[in-house]
Chain A
Amino acid sequence: MKSLYSSAALSASLLLATAGLAAPPKETISDGVVKIGVLTDMSGVYSTLGGKGTQVGVEMAVKDFGGKVLGKPIVVVGADHQNKADIASAKAREWFDNEKVDMITGLLNSGCALAVQKLGGDKKRITMNTGAASTELTNGAWTPYSIHYVYDTYALGKVTGQAVVQTGGKSWFFITADYAFGQSLEGNTSLFVKKLGGKVVGSVRHPLSSADFSSYLLQAQASGAQIIGLANAGGDTINAIKQAREFGIGQKGQKLVGLLIFDTDIKSLGLNVAQGMQFTSGFYWDRDEATRAFAKRFFAIHKAMPTMDQAGAYSATMNYLKAIKLAGTDDPDAVMAKLKSMDISDFFAVHGKIRVDGRMVHDMYLMEVKKPSESKGEWDLLKIVKTVSGDEAFMPLSESTCPAVKK
């Protein structure tokens, strides 16, 4: 009896397989499922600003989309790349080769992002980067299947750098994380500082994840620069700001400027320490009705407000699914063509469009940390000082070294 069942099952599956082969290529979803992989730092220094929250964003988008696209189910998987490029790349390979993953998002940490994006290019799979910052992703490392969604070191350096120089911060000293991201951020910011007539008097490069910044801060203080620029992120930025405050740096004349700061960093620091600081962000949860509505739902699941990476992952997923629906297939070439031609507009992306180099260009915001007296709640941390249009904030195509940009 048992063997009868199994042979019936076998022939049924054979029939199905043949039917699959014979089906016309249009109107199809490869493997009968759309699988989205969230590959990011789930446990390390960047996990608070990305991590599980990024996966929550993606899952919310899938649910809001209805859980199905073109009649086929959408599945979300997640994994921790531990901030190691080799682990990121091995996981992505496994996902692409064996687990039918169609698109990977998240990808905090430029080292991991570059590795996975390259693999996506080789395997013809889409990467929608919401976490990493390096401009290399849309220049030398561009692939026909890569999208850089939320922000980059060019936009951060330009918006913050200009705002600071224009209010009189002419001389800069950088405290920089000694790896690809920090160097790229310092480089981009220096460029704008110099362009506007400012000068860079020095810099010091520290190893990633340093606990003690007092020595670097004293060097910055001794340099006499008006502005101490922090070209690092996460725990490093937090420690540097905290200790500057301890030594009384940044209160008399000299000013501390963090070039990449997330809401969660401010939460860690407390308003007392961070108040008055300005930085650039691609998103703030308390911008308008739509962002607040999303943030409220996100908070109910994740118990924290969404950062730009987490909200960006929602938006990227939603637009990816819309593009599949419009294209009538999940074929990567067709989906990329749709993504690059459709308007990207939702609570996250204002005036958004995806350029030929994969850069999603959208409004960026110059933020300022509120004083404790201005804050009305646990997450009432920032105010938007200025909205900068995407075309103004991001690297223009004329400066791009992306192979897809025709000169």
Chain B
Amino acid sequence: MGMSLQTVLSQVMLGLNNGVFYAILSLGLAVIFGLLNIVNFVHGALYMLGAYVALLGFNQLGPLLGRPDFHLNYWAALLVAPLVVGALGVLIEKTMLRRLRKFDHLYGLLLTFGLALIIQGVFTNYFNVSGDAYDGKPEVLSGVVDLGFMLFPKYRVWVIGISLVVCFGTWFVIERTKLGSYLRAGTENPELVKAFGINVPLMITLTYGFGVGLAAFAGVLAAPIYSVSPVMGSEMIITVFAVVVIGGMGSIMGSILTGLLLGMVEGFTKVVYAPASGTVIFLIMVVVLLVKPAGLFGKEA
């Protein structure tokens, strides 16, 4: 199949667009795994929850408060959804995950997987499975921009931009600041860090809240592009876990770069042989696991 430069460039843009979602979600997983040693299977459900906070905030909150004209707008949702979901994350960590810390991390995986099923089940019961449209996309981000080689929706440009800022910002905080060094030290040797007077349990709780907050943030970004549906998270999370495995569990930069890269690989597959687009990431995962079991960016144990 012949590909013009134009086709290549437009697929790079589309791939990047899908890639930033993979990146932001796998980043959250990497942060949580790095610090809490938990494979957070509820991540997809919380991403979905973020999208629903935006949707319900826009459609339902006003009438609920007795002010039908009130809409929680998109910008506010970008802030509120991560806070609401982050708070829920704090609750989950404090009441459930904390009790499992002394056990094998298989238990954490099972617990979060169960939570994901419950949350998704409840939403499936009350909401339209084929999805609801989110109408709160701000006017400034409507329409398309001419990139020279293609017309690209303004909204997607914004999504790519803000996601990259958030991803690299998180990387910077964790790898390059004092706060980040506490976090990393806390995983290595919690006792020693406690001795310096740092409240390690609180730090862990907040990290979990932050990690799932990222998922909710991605959910709000996704709401205007995809339909907001109870199954949006479960469809996404499988791919994201493959991304995490390929990048290497726990590597911050690895998860970001792998997410972006695989988004593009998937994009090109859609042009070359579309029916394989759903499986190509898993094929790569198999190869990586055989050749470099710790992942592309993971440290060998």
Contact = CB atoms under 8 A, between A and B. Distances in A.
Interface stretch (B7-15, B107-115, B205-213): B7-15
B274 interface: yes
Interface residues of B, number: 37
Contacts of A205: 274-275
A45 B227 CA distance: 12
22 contacts: A44-B231, A45-B231, A48-B129, A48-B130, A206-B274, A206-B275, A207-B277, A211-B235, A212-B14, A212-B18, A215-B271, A216-B270, A216-B274, A219-B271, A238-B227, A246-B153, A246-B156, A246-B225, A247-B151, A247-B152, A264-B128, A269-B133
Nearest to B226: A211
Nearest to A209: B235
Indicate the size class of the contact surface on chain A. Answer: 35 or more
Contacts of B241: none
B135 interface: yes
Interface in B271-286: 271, 274-275, 277-279
A45 B226 contact: no
Interface in B248-299: 267, 270-271, 274-275, 277-279
Interface string A38-61: 000001111111000000000000
Contacts of B132: 268
The listed residue with most A CB atoms (<10 A of its CB), out of B130, B275, B278, B279, is B130
A247 B132 CA distance: 19
Candidate in A214, A234, A235 with the most chain B CB atoms within 10 angstroms: A214
Contacts of B144: 247-248
A380 interface: no
Given A206-B275, A264-B130, 15 more contacts: A45-B231, A47-B129, A47-B130, A48-B130, A211-B226, A211-B232, A212-B226, A218-B14, A235-B229, A238-B130, A238-B131, A246-B156, A268-B130, A268-B131, A268-B132
Contacts of A78: none
Interface in B133-187: 133, 135, 144, 150-153, 155-156
A222 interface: yes
Contact of A204 (B7, B227, B274, B278): B274
A69 to B, nearest CB: 33
Interface in A250-270: 264-265, 267-270
B119 interface: no
B133 A207 contact: no
Interface string A189-220: 00000000000000011110111101110110
A138 to B, nearest CB: 27
B129 to A, nearest CB: 5
A306 to B, nearest CB: 15
B267 A239 contact: no
Contacts of B10: 218
B17 A235 contact: no
Contact of A215 (B124, B153, B270): B270
A222 B135 CA distance: 29
A211 B274 contact: no
Given A264-B128, A264-B130, A215 B14 contact: yes
B151 A270 contact: no
Interface string B2-43: 000001001100100110000000000000000000000000
